[in-house]
Every structure is written in C-alpha cells, then in structure tokens.
Amino acid sequence: MDPKEIAERFARSLSSSLHAFIFDSSLVDSGIVSRIVAVSGTDQYLKRFVKDNVVVYALDVSKLEKRCRMETCRNVPRERYRICLSECLKQQTDAMARVVAQSIMDAVDLLG
C-alpha cells in the first residue's frame, strides 16, 4: 500500500468521531504507519494498541481532560461541571485531531 494512501486514511480516521486509526497489520504495513508517526512527530499525542493483527492508533486525550478539569471547568458550578467537562473535552479533542491529522499529511512529503 502507498504511504500517501495510508496517511490519508490515517488522517481521515483521526478526524472522524472515533479519533482512531484501526487496521489489520496483515493488510497494511505497520512499519509504514510507524514511520509516518515518527516523521510527523505525533507519537506523543497517540496511544498504540496491538491485539493479534489488529493495530489501533488513538488520540491520547488524558492531557486534554486534565486541562479541561484544571483550567476551563475549574470554577464551574457543580451542577454544570459534567456538561462543561464533556463540551471542553469534545472541543479540545476535535482541535487536537485536526492538528495531528495535518501533521500526518505533511509528513508524507518527507517520506518520499
């Protein structure tokens, strides 16, 4: 499979509501995916899970949740706190997905 095609699928998947790229390593070369992640500099924003032939790269939202708790929703009244946290996390995750997806697409040019 062409690295550009893999990167495009990767970027689209991260930008979807799932915020993850899931593939079968017998169908997609996981070495290419690893190189895309390394060249794009996005490894710190992704978690990688492997189970048999299934590989998942998902956005790591743990830091975003902490930011929402400590900054955005810190002074929100208790009855609105969960709503604030949910809205903040969605907004922050969508923004992170866009940035990571763009970095992945930019990395394809460097792979040659």
* Residue 40 backbone dihedrals phi, psi, to 5 degrees: -75, -15
**Residue whose pair of structure tokens reads 């996981």 in the numeric block:** 30
Residue 112 has pLDDT above 90, yes or no: no
- Yes or no: say if 11 and 3 are a contact pair by the CB < 8 Å rule: no
Average confidence (pLDDT) over 98-111: 90
Please list the residues that pair with 22 across neighbouring strands: 56
Tens digits of residue pLDDT in 78-96: 999 999 999 999 999 999 9
Residue 109 has pLDDT above 90, yes or no: no
In 3D space, the residue among 58, 61, 60 whose CA is nearest the CA of residue 49 turns out to be: 58
pLDDT tens digits along 1-19: 789 999 999 999 999 999 9
User: What is the rounded CA–CA span in Å between residue 23 and residue 60?
Assistant: 18
**Given a cut of 70, is residue 70 above it in pLDDT?**
yes
Query: Which pLDDT belongs to residue 111?
Result: 72
What per-residue confidence (pLDDT) applies to 1?
A: 76
First vs last C-alpha separation in the chain: 14
Cβ neighbors of 84 (< 8 A, separation 6 or more) are 68, 72, 73, 76
